[in-house]
Amino acid sequence: MLQVDLNTLADSQVKNFEVERDTITIENHVPRKVALAPTVMETQVPDQCNTEMASGNSASKSEESHKVKATVTIQQTTGGLLSGVVTAGLDGFTDLVGKSLLLELISVQLDPKTKSEKRIKAYAEKKEAKEEEEYEAWFEIPGDFGEVGAVAVENEHHNEMLLKKIVIHEEHGSVNFTCNSWVQPKHEGSLMRTFFSNKSYLPSETPSGLKSLREGELVALRGNGEGERKKTERIYDYDVYNDLGDPDTNIKLKRPVLGGKQHPYPRRCRTGRKLSHADPLSEKRSISMYVPRDEVFGETKQTQFTATTASSGLKAILQSLNSVAANKNLVFSSFEDINMLFKDGFSVPQLKNDGLLQRIIPTLIKAASDSDQILRFDTPETVKRDSFFWFSDEEFARETLAGVNPYSIELVKEWPLRSKLDPQIYGPAESAITREVIEQQINGNKTVEEAIAEKKLFILDYHDLLLPYVGKVREIEGTTLYGSRTLFFLTTRGTLKPLAIELTRPPLNGKPQWKQVFTPNGHSTSLWLWRLAKAHVLAHDSGYHELVSHWLRTHCAVEPFIIATHRQLSAMHPIYRLLHAHLRYTMEINALARKVLISASGIIEISFSPRKYSMELSSVAYDQLWRFDLQGLPNDLIHRGMAMEDPSAPHGLKLAIEDYPFANDGLLIWDALKSWVTDYVNHCYPNPSLIHSDHELQSWWTEIRTIGHGDKKDEPWWPILRTPKDLIEVITTIAWVASAHHASVNFAQYDYGGYFPNRPSIARIKMPTEDPTKEEWEKFVNRPEDTLLECFPSQIQATLVMAVLRLLSDHSPDEQYIGDFVEDSWGEDENVKVAYEKFHGRLKEIEGIIDSRNKDSGLKNRNGVGMVPYELMKPFSGAGVTGKGIPYSISI
């Protein structure tokens, strides 16, 4: 039992209350009923409502006035920023006296005499507590007040509250306000929050009574670009990636600033933290990282994220870091040891909790048990179906079309293959993959020219991207790097056959360029060299997947879209409401990534081949490869030569490989998204001239191009927003990237990377044929399996990546899937509602189409013995690691 002396309360909380005694008793944190002077709460529908006309409104009560009820729904929360038994008790007290939540109804009309806003205010009374708390207020509305278009809310509790919705119950029907926003308490200096009804308005259509509120809310969200942001704020602003390093802890942890002429990059959310002492260009690291308050995980999401982090084994892995500090290169001694990770488990020593990763990622390990000393992982679906799947060359090729990175495979368009790098620096540009190599591998059935003309040759090309980093990376202990090319041939069965791998080392340490081609058949020596070369290529593909296909093209590229949407599009703008579902949780997960995944000595730098150059490499990829107009699926496929325009073909595209599961299913989703966006945009912009005259929309697109992606602002390929068609393409592209693109590269990560020999994150040793010593060659000849295991990630690298992939592949119970979640505003416009129902129905049809394709034995890239069916483009899913489901947003 806790007693609170009212004399210690702030005067502002006491002076308006009449109470019979000085002490309130609180049991179980819930205030007891106390004797109070009569208040408005004591009558269900008061004869004289506790209602005042706000200052500036000259209207008086009219004979036509009527009573209106407002209900406010607050989500009960045990986490977030709510804390403190005492303040909870104080909030209970203010609820009892009916002075905790002040509402102001705002008319869509201005007062015709004063030209000021019409406002009526009243306090809301708390009703019986349920899963969601409900408050109720009564208003006396003059007959000439007009439609309620906004509600201003003042939180007079001591704690913030999560405001879910407000409903105004009018005689002619309800006016709904979907809020889903944290409202800060008045005593902390928070201004009244304004929420607009679910009715959407273009800027030119904004009612007179809401115009200044619309503009003022956007100004507040932009902030002034000064000072350090507080965790309770809702300010959206831009900054460069200058917070990945930690030079104040160790100057070796200094990292280049990403963003600007030297290292072009998208912008992140500004936090305003102080600059580093050791490197004035870098921002200081901190335990917590600001994201706008409404972008933070909800309780269900946070609970799932924390629990999955604990169960994935991260704590045990992190504790083992100290034991391997002297030998972080400790490898698995056999494949039996690797398999033990999924059976009896793998023991790690119990150690003190002060290792490097324990310091830099406390968020991820806070819920893990200190006694977790056994690493035991869930068996990936791929291994459950076929424990030897990873050994197959056909599976190696199939995963370029139906695996976790289907964005890299390209059609070979020119011959011979040549590098575009400077030969004076990197050596001869000609590839070592010759005509003879290719024609021998395809059994002399075709010439190279015929194969190219018939679109039979395909390539994974990481040569020019990686080669400039080979020398730098090789200076780091425990890793190596090559530039690589891998060629594939399209067989008559519609599958890809690997033909050759070329690995290249540039001139280095006085040695000339080294390059060699490896093929998949022949003598046992050649076969083991092929397996090792394949491990190197898989490491290259894994790194490219995480750094470019996944992080750069989805998480990183989308953050500026989110910031600009909040800064330039009013919450009542129809395009804001169309995009809103695609923005959820992305800024929070990106902030976590900056803390623990992509930071200096973070998980990526520890575990992937480029090591400390990983993020710098992603900047190079952004500079050389990223174009907004190529982010939509059809243009991406055409650019890679994987499709060509054909009006007579489904989706208007003819695929170069007919059985390309990602492309076939993805185009179904793209078309469904585009149809939904088309219906929505055409309804909101019936006159094409409205696009050009929409100053919020034009400011939004300008800010994305010139600030959010400002390092590419002068590129000629940016679309210009002139017509509904332009807008439809832009919005569909953003929606695709945030939903289906991200789903395609994320939710099968554990299935394909959970057994790390299938997708090693790093190749740690060079090829045995590259300038070998006698001892190295003899070791390879006598124990080739040991050489392969030594090339694979170390124990700590492998298990760390496995734990993270398990975490990232997991769907939260509160996931919002495309076509399965409806923004409230969509349902209140009959035309939009009909368009959404059509979208939902089409997605249900797509689920059935994908199921039938997976059962088609003629589709060899998605159907076969022991093969995991391709389900990543199935829109819906349950919670957990399912390998399917497309959330609206990048939520993990």
Torsion of CA 526, 528, 533, 537, to 10 degrees: 130
Q: What angle is formed at CA 857 by the lines to CA 855 and CA 861, rounded to 5 degrees?
A: 90
Where is 808: in which H helix or E strand? helix 795-808
- 704 in helix, strand or coil? helix
Active site (annotated) includes residue 550: yes
Identified catalytic residue from 157, 158, 263, 550: 550
Please report, in angstroms and rounded to a whole number, the separation of the first and last CA atoms in the chain: 42
Cβ(733)–Cβ(553) under 8 Å?
A: no
Cβ(100)–Cβ(157) below 8 Å = yes
- 713 near 705, Cβ under 8 Å? yes
Nearest-10 crossing angle of helices 830-854, 661-684: 170
Which of 746, 758, 854, 861 is labelled catalytic? 746
Task: DSSP letter for 421, please.
Answer: S
Are 749 and 809 a contacting pair, CB within 8 Å?
yes
Contacts of 329 (CB under 8 A, 6+ apart): 477, 478, 764, 794
Q: Is 892 a catalytic residue?
A: yes
Q: Active site residue: 158, 545, 742, 811, which one?
A: 742
E strands, 59-100, are: 66-75
**What are the structure tokens assigned to 403, written together?**
């695996």
Helix (DSSP H) and strand (DSSP E) numbers for the chain: 33, 23
Residue type, 336: E
**In the annotation, is 442 catalytic?**
no
Q: Is the peptide bond before 256 cis (omega within 30 degrees of 0)?
A: no
d(C-alpha 244, C-alpha 418), whole Å: 35
Three-class DSSP category at 881: coil
660 within 8 A of 410, measured Cβ to Cβ: no
Contact yes or no for 201/101 (Cβ under 8 A): no
Task: State the catalytic residue, choosing from 158, 536, 540, 555.
Answer: 555
Q: Which DSSP string corresponds to 89-148?
A: HHHHHHHHTT-SEEEEEEEEEE-TTT-SEEEEEEEEEE----SEEEEEEEEEE-TTS--E
Q: Which residues are marked as active site? A: 550, 555, 742, 746, 892
